[in-house]
Structure 1
Amino acid sequence: MQLIGSCHCGAVRLELPSAPETATNCNCSLCRRLNGLWAYYEFGTVRITGHPEHTEAYVQGDRTLQTLRCRSCGCITHWEPLPPVAGARHGVNLRNFDPALVAAVRVRHFDGADSWTFLD
């Protein structure tokens, strides 16, 4: 299975170290607007080309992570922990990958808007 994805224009490319077993679909105020489908990896294990030269960051709330998008096409590619420390959790937006990869992953629904629990 192809573990390489990219934003729409291809300026930012992501290579996963392994296929995810699960992904998270969150309904918090940000994720529901982004329509992100998040797979989590240890920070530093996902190879990202085109970052930071082709990305812009958005930092909100408690400032513990930054959400990154391509400067050219606007696709949300991933989020990184703040500060960016090796070993911390890192989220990759699976919507930038082949639909076959997404179809092979169990999607969990997280209630980030209210209860902060998984709904499944």
Structure 2
Amino acid sequence: MNETKTYTGGCHCGQVRYEVKAGIQDVVSCNCSICMKTGSFLAFVPAAAVQILSGGDDVKDYQFGKKHIHHMFCPTCGIRTFGRGAMPDGTEMYAINVRTLDDVDLGAFKVKEFDGKSL
């Protein structure tokens, strides 16, 4: 198990900022239509591990398909910092786009492929 670290991240313009406390080891590379177009690498964490520092009231919500996931993005620069949803057991979670974390080495994470296109 990876040790819990505190990460900060945000969008390109800085309007949306967040903090996440998690032991991120793996990231998911999904081939669904939105992840392919945005190039997201996702780490799934409990909602309690995420604190929105700024811009939380301003983010825009995009949903598609079955509308289970809230794809949140900055209204100014359009960057998708995270998504919100629920695990199959109903636990609220965030899907953090690790590409929006500050000062991380993306090569340090193990990438797991997910076939979201087939859902």
Match of 1:18 among 7, 15, 22: 22
User: For residue 71 of structure 1, what is the amino acid of its counterpart?
Assistant: P
Distance in 1 separating the partners of 2:35 and 2:96: 12
Tell me the TM-score normalised to structure 2 length.
0.82
User: For residue 7 of structure 1, what is the amino acid of its counterpart?
Assistant: C
The structure with the largest helix share of the pair is 2
TM-superposition CA deviations, 1:1-59 (whole Å, max 9, x none): 76111111111112111241100010111110111110000123211122432210001
1:37 aligns with 2:49: no
Distance in 1 separating the partners of 2:107 and 2:18: 18
Distance in 2 separating the partners of 1:16 and 1:95: 13
What's the C-alpha RMSD, in Å, of the aligned pairs?
2.1
User: For residue 41 of structure 1, what is the amino acid of its counterpart?
Assistant: V
Q: Do the aligned partners of 2:22 and 2:49 also contact (CA within 8 Å) in 1? A: no
TM-superposition CA deviations, 1:52-87 (whole Å, max 9, x none): 3221000111121110001111100111117xxx83
Counterpart in 2 of 1:27?
A: 31
Q: CA deviation at 1:109?
A: 1.4
Unaligned stretches of 5+ residues in structure 2: none
